Structure 1
Amino acid sequence: MTSDFMKELLSKDEKITVEYKTCQYGIQEDVYETVCSFSNRYGGYIIMGVEDDGTPIGINPNMVKDMKKNFVNQLNNPDKMSPTLYLSIEDIVYEGMTLLWVYVPPTSTVEKCANRIYDRNEDGDMDITDSPIQLQNMYNRKSNTYAEHKIFPYVTMEDLRMDLMDKVRNLAKSKNPDHPWLKMSDEEILKSAGLCEKDFSSGIQGYNLAGVLLFGKDDVIRSCCPGYITDALYRVENLDRYDDRLQVTTNLIEAYDLLMEFVAKHTSDKFCLINNISTSIRGIISREVIGNILVHRDYSSAYPAKVIIEKDWMRTENWCIPRRHGNIMSDEFTPYPKNPLIQQFFANIGRTDTIGSGVRNLYKYTPMYSDGGKPELIEDDVFRINIPLDRIAADEATEQKTLSEREQKIYNMICENLHLSVEQVMAELDISRSTVFRDYAKIKKVTGAAYDKKSSTWTL
């Protein structure tokens, strides 16, 4: 969060995705109602320490630590929020005053606050618990958006790997020694995480696709999600095929470990001091990359997810439902979870952080690992991540984004004459037609210029 972005959020009145709360001496109860309504609609920002008209009044700095702790505890309390949520509340000093803010992503399941259901309408939170029509509309909206929400009524606990529960509790304990899951039974954890639910529009209840992917036995996963596979390739010597390969078809909890081990096996490690602690940069990067292809892929598609490790690059591909198209930059995107249930589960066991932190971490730590290189994150029907692994890849990426002297001359000619022909470039620079087209392709990629064949005109 930057001061400029906070200024933008406070420059307008409250709306369907922005809510102001005073909360000077503690978190008000209606904050959780707003968390619930944002989760059930489009998501949004809650800013605390602000009047209803957007005037910042600040929060007592001595209260910030306790307010953060209480907020997290309440979101993980199943009596307060169901399913429980994992959100990060942050503080920022704005115009000399301390404010708290939190981004609430939309969820794939209907969220409840104190056993009441809230929906967002313009700038208010509406209790729709006793409104059957609005409830049905909400359930229909969510079930049509998220594949992980699909319920399999004939899947029973015997079809799940309940032996993984001890591992889940240990991971949750490492993340939070007082995690509520430590006091719950296996079935209560599944319900708390939203993995066992009821569709109130159809009456069907049971374990959903998220629950099957996280805990299902391999044959159950194959039956419920036939296209699920993650293909990991190490390709350095044999460029036509591969030098090593791992095909992962098991549950997401164990799949994460297998893929992390594969990356560790085929890449070098680098350490640096972070807060005076020696930290593996490769571990941070691979955690974000592996977490992304498991958490944010579209499981309704049979397109196989891939992790490809080359001599100088690590690349991933996975099918997704894009919310935007093109490169994702660290300072100009709005995080949007593709599978909120799975993301929340991974956050609870410490394998992902808050929504959006993965992009920030990749932009922060990739230059340290690759000696200056930057990651490429491209969101489209196929979501791609390209991570340079060394200086060679970093220089290659920089070269791909920089025009050569000849290419710059051609671009200058285009700027001066938007109807520039290939023949004119060939005559001016004494180069072949194929070279012109190759340079054109690079110019289009680097500058964003486009050529309309019908009008023979360049657009800059």
Structure 2
Amino acid sequence: MEEQLLRQLISQGEGKHIEFKSAKRSVPSDLYETVVSFSNTEGGTLLLGIEDDGTISGIEETFKNKILKDLVSSINSTDCINPPLYLQPVPVQLNGVWIIAMQVPVSSQVHDHKNVIYIREYESDLDITKQNQRVSDLHLNKRNYFTESQVIPNLTMEDLDEKLFDKARNLIRSNQSDHPWLFEKNKKMLEDASLWRKDFFTQKEGLTLAAALIFGKDTTIQSLLPAYKVEGMVRKVNKDRWDDRITPPLRTNLIDTYIGLKGFVNKHLPEKFYMEGDQRIDIRDKVFREVIGNVIVHREYSSALATELIIDQNQLTITNPNNPHFSGPIDLNSFNPYPKNPNIRKFFTALGWTDEIGSGIRNTKKYLPLYIEDAQPVFIEGPIFKTIIPLHLATLKPYAKKWLNWLELNVAYTSHLEISLSKINIDPELAEASWETCLLYLVPSWTQKGTKLSNLDWPKNQPIDEDTIKKTPSWAQKSTELLHKKVRYIIAILSLTAEPIALDDIMTAVGYANKKTFRDNYVKPLEQLQWIEKTNPQNPTAPDQKYRLTLIGKMFLGNQE
């Protein structure tokens, strides 16, 4: 876990998904209650060496390794947590002292600590063991949400591929030579990986859907999920069909599916190396290991829709059936990761193909700009989860001077606007487009989307087609001729805030005098839409307060999906 993320978590304070524990010389006695409550509810992050008020007290260095050892042995033992949770605590130095971070994903099973079941409510771990209805509801919710944990009647060890166990052990061994699964028989490995479980509602015990997906023979998987398939295509020249394709589509186990998708990407995208410290790293491998791991770990396997990976001239796009936790683009700076298939993720972590929960998105954000300069991935949550990896970039920066004149902004903000527009991505096919072509691409989309948002009160009768726009006098020179004044102010605010800027500066740049009216009519509605946000939301009246454009706002302004 990176220092920046840790400091961000500490600054948020304790809550439903964050817990601090003082731990100078030993594991706190109530830590395992919190581990269980996180796993039973929505997951969370435990930070040892942090006081309740957020003070970084640290762990005494001579006791650090003992605490780590005690944590791992206890969490992996049914005597402490049942079923066991295979978690990996991570020591990190912060302010010259050691702390231990441990991410606890939500589990598809109900766990207890010494026969006591806990759930997380607000900042507390609540014992619900004797509340039969709440325990029953907890089992039912997990059964309904996590289809991977469904026990499949009549699925037996004979339906699994024996060779895949050997392949899995070899992959695990290359990642962690002392992993406990290496020394267990096949059925015991499945039990410890929660791929063999008891369904307390049906009283059935046996192999789960996740077990079939990871270790099943092809005939087994196709019998259970006849519509399931994963497609890989290249569409650079032939846009209607493909230039290359994975043939036949992948309908096999998840281990070979990962290898097949990764090989297809490696075939069509170039290597690029980078020195990280004294290590030479293949950035392509770093980025797409995470991307493909995410696709497999988070797919909703009960869906009949295909997973599709498409490489075109400008981007790699993956669409994946999904059981969404919310809807919309994921803010890479503040998202709360939520695993869709925690047991599959746990197994892929053992293989070395995924790391801690949420790391796929964070690592893609970290390494993609090293592979494609200044590129940022886009992840959109919904019934179809969409991943967009830019392979070429185009931004609004080349249009900065025309943009400033068009919106009639104060020339003193030319430099700021240029920096701001450099952070707004547009369709790469517009990289060499004229100013007029750019406007014809953007203006209709603003109106089509803006009129659907009632709290913006977007003016009606704005031109949305090319012919109507071109009939407007001086449409490419003055936005005042093309856009209603309210729309001009909205676009100006969005254009200026991609680079953080103070409210007074925004008003000066657009030529608006009344602060209350400006805040009420423009700033607050854009905040409510989560298109802009304060840089210091905890202290709204801070003298250095600024506003910045969010990912949703950037996507609107640049007409991205």
Counterpart AA for 2:307: A
Q: Deviations over 1:57-93 (max 9, x none)?
A: 3322443354345434443445544243234435352
CA contact (8 A) 1:50 1:58 kept: yes
* 1:388 lines up with 2:399 in the alignment: no
Match of 1:218 in 2: 218
Match of 1:251 in 2: 253
* Separation of aligned partners in 2, 1:430 and 1:330: 36
Deviations 1:392-434 (A, max 9, x none): 79999834499996759979x999x964743697534257xxx
Q: Could you tell me how far apart the structure 1 residues matched to 2:349 and 2:443 are?
A: 50
Equivalent positions of 1:83-122 (< 5 A) are 83-91=84-92, 93=94, 98-113=98-113, 117-122=117-122
SS in 1 for 2:361: helix
Q: 3-state DSSP class of the match of 1:383?
A: strand
Query: 1:422: which partner in 2?
Result: 462
Distance in 1, Cα, partners of 2:163 & 2:26: 41
- C-alpha displacement at 1:196, in angstroms? 0.7
In the alignment of these two chains, the number of paired residues is 437
Gaps of 5+ in 1: 449-456
Shift in Å, 1:318: 0.3
- The verdict on how the C-alpha distance between 1:213 and 1:410 changes in structure 2, with shifts beyond 3 A counting, is closer
Structure 1 residues 74 and 274, CA, compared in 2 at 3 Å: closer, same or farther? farther
Give the partner amino acid of 1:372: D
Instruction: Output aligned runs, 1:155-170, within 5 Å.
Output: 155-170=155-170
Work out whether 1:34 is the aligned partner of 2:74. no
User: CA 1:261/1:129 → structure 2, altered by over 3 Å: closer, same or farther?
Assistant: same
2: distance between equivalents of 1:31 and 1:388?
Answer: 42
Counterpart position of 1:8: 12
Instruction: For 2:474 and 2:217, locate their aligned partners in 1 and report how far apart those are by CA, in whole Å.
Output: 64
SS of match in other structure, 2:145: coil
C-alpha change, 1:83 and 1:98, in structure 2 (3 Å) is: closer
* Structure 1 residues 256-296: Cα deviation after superposition (integer angstroms, max 9, x where no partner): 11111111111111111123111111111111111111110
User: Aligned with 1:198: secondary structure?
Assistant: strand
Separation (CA, whole Å) in 1 of partners of 2:183 and 2:115: 20
CA deviation vs aligned residue, 1:19-68 (integer Å, no higher than 9, x gap)? 33221112234322321221011222322223456555332244335434
Report the Cα distance in structure 1 between the residues aligned to 2:52 and 2:152, rounded to whole angstroms: 44
How far, CA to CA, are the matches of 1:115 and 1:26 in structure 2? 23
Equivalent position SS for 2:340: coil
Residue 116 of structure 1, CA deviation: 5.3
Q: For residue 321 of structure 1, give the secondary structure of its aligned residue in structure 2.
A: coil
Given the alignment of the two structures, is residue 205 of structure 1 paired with residue 205 of structure 2, yes or no? Answer: yes
**RMSD of Structure 2 on Structure 1 (CA):** 3.7
Moved more, 81-90 or 139-148: 81-90
CA distance in 1, matches of 2:67, 2:426: 48
Relative to structure 1, is the Cα distance of residues 261 and 430 closer, same or farther in structure 2, using a 3 angstrom cutoff?
A: closer
Contact 1:26 1:67 in 2 (8 A): yes
Task: State how 1:30-429 maps to structure 2 within 5 Å.
Answer: 30-52=30-52, 56-77=56-77, 80-81=80-81, 82-91=83-92, 93=94, 98-113=98-113, 117-126=117-126, 132-246=132-246, 247-390=249-392, 398-400=425-427, 407=439, 419=459, 421-422=461-462, 426-429=471-474
Structure 2 vs 1, CA of residues 115 and 88 (structure 1 numbering), >3 Å: closer, same or farther? same
Q: In the TM superposition, what is the alpha-carbon distance from 1:7 to its structure 2 partner?
A: 2.0
Corresponding residue SS for 2:309: strand
Which letter does structure 1 place at the counterpart of 2:34? T
**Cα 1:17/1:313, change in 2 over 3 Å:** closer
User: Structure 1 residue 336: deviation in Å?
Assistant: 0.5
TM-score, with structure 2 as normaliser: 0.69
Native 8 Å contact 1:312 1:393 kept in 2 = no
Contact 1:20–1:46 (CA<8 Å) still a contact in 2? yes
Deviations along 1:198-228, one digit per CA (max 9) or x if unpaired, are 1112211211111111111112112222332
Change (3 A) 1:78 1:264: farther
Kindly indicate whether the alpha-carbon contact (under 8 Å) linking 1:227 and 1:302 is maintained by their aligned counterparts in 2.
yes
1:279/1:77 Cα in 2 relative to 1: closer, same or farther (>3 Å)?
farther
Name the CA distance, whole Å, in 2 between partners of 1:177 and 1:76. 17
Distance in 2, Cα, partners of 1:191 & 1:17: 28
CA distance in 2: counterparts of 1:142 and 1:404, whole angstroms: 53
C-alpha separation in 2, matches of 1:317 and 1:105: 24
Partner amino acid, structure 2, of 1:84: L
Inter-CA distance 33–184: structure 2 relative to 1 (3 Å threshold)? farther
* 8 A Cα contact 1:313 1:393, kept in partner: no
Alpha-carbon shift at residue 233 of structure 1 (Å): 0.7
- In structure 2, the CA distance between the partners of 1:159 and 1:378, relative to structure 1 (3 Å rule), is same
Structure 2 CA distance for partners of 1:40 and 1:120, relative to 1, 3 Å: same
CA distance in 2, matches of 1:410, 1:252: 44
Q: Cα 1:161–1:83, aligned 2, differ >3 Å: closer, same or farther?
A: farther
| Stretch moving more, 248-257 or 100-109 | 100-109
The letter for the 1-side match of 2:472 is A
Distance in 2 (alpha carbons) for counterparts of 1:176 and 1:394: 46
Matched residues in 2 for 1:393 and 1:189: separation?
50
Taking structure 1 as reference, are residues 175 and 114 closer, same or farther at Cα in structure 2, changes over 3 Å only?
A: farther
Instruction: Report deviation, 1:144.
Output: 1.2
Aligned pair in 2 of structure 1 residues 29, 191: CA closer, same or farther (>3 Å)? Answer: farther
Q: Over residues 362-408 of structure 1, what are the superposed CA-to-partner deviations in whole Å (9 max), with x where a residue is unaligned?
A: 11111111122221111122111111224679999834499996759
Letter in 2 for 1:427: T
Which deviates more, 232-241 or 27-36? Answer: 27-36
CA, structure 1 residues 420+428, in 2 after alignment: closer, same or farther (shift >3 Å)? farther
1-structure distance, mates of 2:244, 2:38: 45
Alignment match, 1:453: none
Structure 1 pair 336–404 and aligned structure 2 pair: CA distance change class (3 A): farther
Q: Distance in 2 between matches of 1:7 and 1:49?
A: 15
> Which of structures 1 and 2 has the bigger CA Rg?
2
Q: Which has the higher contact order (CA 8 A, sep 6+)?
A: 1
Report the alpha carbon displacement of residue 195 of structure 1 after superposing the two structures with TM: 0.5
Unaligned runs of 5+ in 2: 398-421, 451-456, 477-481, 496-520, 527-561
Q: Which amino acid aligns with 1:9?
A: G
Distance, in Å, in 2 between the alignment partners of 1:316 and 1:393 is 22
**Amino acid in structure 2 at the alignment position of 1:60:** E
CA distance in structure 1 between the aligned counterparts of 2:461 and 2:146, rounded to whole angstroms: 48
**What's the secondary structure of 1:258's corresponding residue?**
helix
